[in-house]
Chains A and B, each alone.
Chain A
Amino acid sequence: MNLDERLQNVTIIGAAGKMGSGIAVLVAQEMSKLKLKQENKGKIYRLNLVDITEEALDGLRSYLRVQLVKAAEKSTVLLRQIYADRKDLIENGEIINAFVDDTYALLNFTTDYNIAKDSHLVFEAIFENEEIKIKVLKSLKEICLPDALFLTNTSSIPISFLDEKAGLGGRIVGYHFYNPPVIQKLVEIIYADNTTEELKEIGLEFGKRLRKKLVPAADISGFIGNGHFSRDGLYALNKVEELKDEYGYHGALYIMNKVSQDFLVRPMGIFQLIDYVGLDVFQSLLRVMKTHLKLEHLNSDLLNKFMDKKIAGGQNPNGSQKDGFIKYEKNRPAGVYNIEEGKYRMFDEDWRAGIDKKLNPTNEKFAPWRALLMDGKKMEKLGTHFNNLKGMNTYGSELALDFLKTTKDIGENLVKDGVANSEKEVNEVLMNGFFWLYGPIHNFI
């Protein structure tokens, strides 16, 4: 059965989640384009979107409509060709609406995952929890057609482990989208020991159709992206424990966040990133990796304390950032949490200026990430920037260079441990999945 045939009936489990909803937008468009082909007239296409609650499905309905309109607006050049024989559709606006309506018509929204019984392709995008994932995959195995193929969006659980526990006999592949899937180009593809050749091909072909950058990662917990992110975040958390005596927990969090963003020229500071991903997600990531890799040090007491206080970051349904390590006002950092005091310390300009001065006494101006993003000479400029850091000998530059060295070691170890085939893949994942300007494996130091 080829990909076109499999795309006639697809199910997404966990479709209303952050990742599932994005995957739904992508799959729906591909199915719709197939459905609209002349040779497929009369065939029935169905995309089943399954999640736990009706409320979640309502949210998914509106999200999908908005995203499908956006997607259609971006591909109107192609859509005009697809609808060339529809004499009644003349303007772009009419064609965009027609595509959204036609795509919507192939969607089933339901809380009952028995609907997956006729699906040839099943995407699993539920919460990153081993037991639940295994339970769901096991049930799906019973419900679905015997040749149904499963693509799991796990970001850390080894695929062979899931395959074995759910008894899928190699009908599963790791297909790790990055958040948000509609925008992020990167997909890590992970084969289990027994992943069938057919599924490998389907995975590759589908990635191509979605115009994603597929990077293969070995089936080792955390894979490349989270293999790096988890250790990068853990380093910063541990560093906070070191710095807290002098600056308090809030000061130490502020320092590491600032150093990672401004000195290392990243799109956001490390703690802002963990807040964005969710402290719960990050904690579960460390747990999964700790278990599968048998590495006790993949744990942060500080993170656990935040979770005990139910401070978990992540996003509100409207997309705004929830508070985590950092407090947000209008999606911008406005304070930082002190775990000992059990409250956020709102930014006080004098306090901030004091720490900034300690980090960067001569007030050197660094080009921010955004300014270099589209700069054709960004690598050259980054080289100069890191060279300057080496000559600065300030508190901030030393912290930054240690951090830079650590991220490089993490990257190199991913290659050494066989998680990534090469340095290039590590860099591709961090640059495409995390929007870094440079890969962690570089010659800056």
Chain B
Amino acid sequence: MTYFRKKIYATAGFNTVALGTGRKEFHPKKPRPGIEHYIKEAGMGSINQIQNPENIDEGVIGNFMAARFCNQGNLGGFFPMVHPTFQYKPCIRVEGACDSGGLALVTAIKTILADMADVVMCIGVEVQNSVKAIYGADYLAGAGWFSGERKEGHAYFFPDQFSQRAGACYEKFGNEKMRAGMAQWYVNAIENARKNPDAQEYHNKNSDLLATGMTSPNPKAFCEHINVFDCSKVSDGGSALIFASEEGLKKIGVELKDAVEMISFAQVQDNLTTPPPDLTKLSTCAVAAKRAYDRAEIKPSDLSVLDVHDCFTIAGLLAVEAAGVAGYGEGADFVIDGNTKSYGIIPTNTTGGLVGYGHPTGASGVRQAVDVVKQLSGKAGDCQVKISPDKPFGMMSSMGGNDITVVAMVFSISSA
């Protein structure tokens, strides 16, 4: 564990409810909390778990499209609203589409590694139910190359991008197997979400999830190769997590046992203006995972828990391949065989993932880190999976755009 010049810990993770269709309290025509609510709730949810908030040095907020969804920019300005400790301290908003949350994590960590801070709070947030899905699709398409791709693109731009990936996989690995794998991914996501009271699908009572997951795509109304259940949710939500150096942990009054060590990460960028080299692979995610493993000096089989960016069920299958836990073209079988279930070889997306918990885009990267940290510290509630002592590691991998912007991060039960 020598990659970083000092130890970095994560602690005090908090996720709000992911609000949107599926939640009982959600009603599209009734007023709902705004973006500031989620920022405040997430931030305070984290701060309430530490002793000395006055010793937080900085704030980083990850957000994708508040400027369009909520007509809101300048999000750093919300930190002092969360807590007076942030008044006149450095705060910054970062953006990398659906990986905005992931970028918030690495920005916080780099600040600490640069000796500019000992304690940095990350918040991720997105409020997307402010417009109908058809307009939300426009806003989210900003994760692609607007002047190069949007005009030719589909009404549901991103679902179609991943529908094309599904189509390519059907052709290469067989329609039946891929379809079954995607449906099983959906089943697992909902089953896990039912154990997570904050998940958007927590209230899902469907008695035949597999049949729902197998629903035939309807290209006239949606996409050619995927159905609406293959998609992550349109969600409002926020997450927060605090990163600290060893010194920082002491300053905020958090004991080592309540923290998890962040032992490596990789932030990887691909070119937004070029098409993916191979639709059947998440190549950028694979590079990120490999680097993260190498830097942590571990192998995929050392993981006890994994959280991947399943913006679509097909992305989930390709992401477990990119994370190296399943071989190329074997993701579907790997999932069908139950290996990613909470009791499987590598419990994956144990709190529901983007399909089950929901996908408040700019918050997702932070949410994933929070959930991995909770698992490793034994605080995952009904979602808790077994963390064996010989495999004290967990990894999250979050992705922005169509495999363009990726952060992979490895955590470990703290060894000190």
Contacts and interface: CB of A to CB of B under 8 A. Distances in A.
Contacts of A330: none
Interface stretch (B129-137, B166-174, B180-188): B129-137
B95 interface: no
Interface residues of B, number: 18
Given A78-B220, A376-B211, A73 B154 contact: no
Contacts of A91: 138, 141, 150
A90 B141 CA distance: 11
B151 interface: yes
A77 B208 contact: no
Contacts of A96: 134
A77 B208 CA distance: 29
Contact of B150 (A76, A90, A376): A90
A77 B224 CA distance: 11
A93 B132 CA distance: 11
A90 B149 CA distance: 10
B220 A77 contact: yes
Interface in A59-113: 73-74, 76-80, 87, 90-93, 96
A376 B208 contact: yes
Nearest to B135: A93
A77 B155 contact: yes
A92 B221 contact: no
Interface in A341-378: 376
A440 B131 CA distance: 41
Contact of A77 (B141, B150, B221): B221
B129 to A, nearest CB: 15
Q: Which of B132, B135, B151, B208 has the most CB of A within 10 A?
A: B151
Contacts, number: 33
Contact of A92 (B146, B155, B211): B155
A74 B138 contact: no
A378 B197 CA distance: 29
Contact of B138 (A77, A78, A87, A93): A93
Nearest to A375: B207
B69 interface: no
A91 B140 CA distance: 11
Contacts of A76: 134, 155
Interface string B198-235: 00000000001001000000011110000000000000
Contacts of B141: 91
B155 A87 contact: no
Contacts of B138: 91-93
A76 B155 CA distance: 6
A77 B154 contact: yes
Contacts of B220: 77-78
B134 A80 contact: no
Contacts of B221: 74, 77
Interface of B: 132, 134-135, 137-138, 141, 146, 150-151, 154-156, 208, 211, 219-222
Given A87-B151, A91-B141, A93-B135, 4 more contacts: A77-B154, A91-B138, A92-B134, A93-B138
17 contacts: A73-B132, A73-B134, A76-B134, A77-B156, A77-B219, A79-B155, A80-B154, A87-B151, A90-B150, A91-B138, A92-B134, A92-B138, A92-B155, A93-B135, A96-B134, A376-B208, A376-B211
A-B pairs, top 6 by smallest CB distance, nearest first, are A76-B155, A91-B138, A77-B155, A73-B134, A92-B138, A90-B151
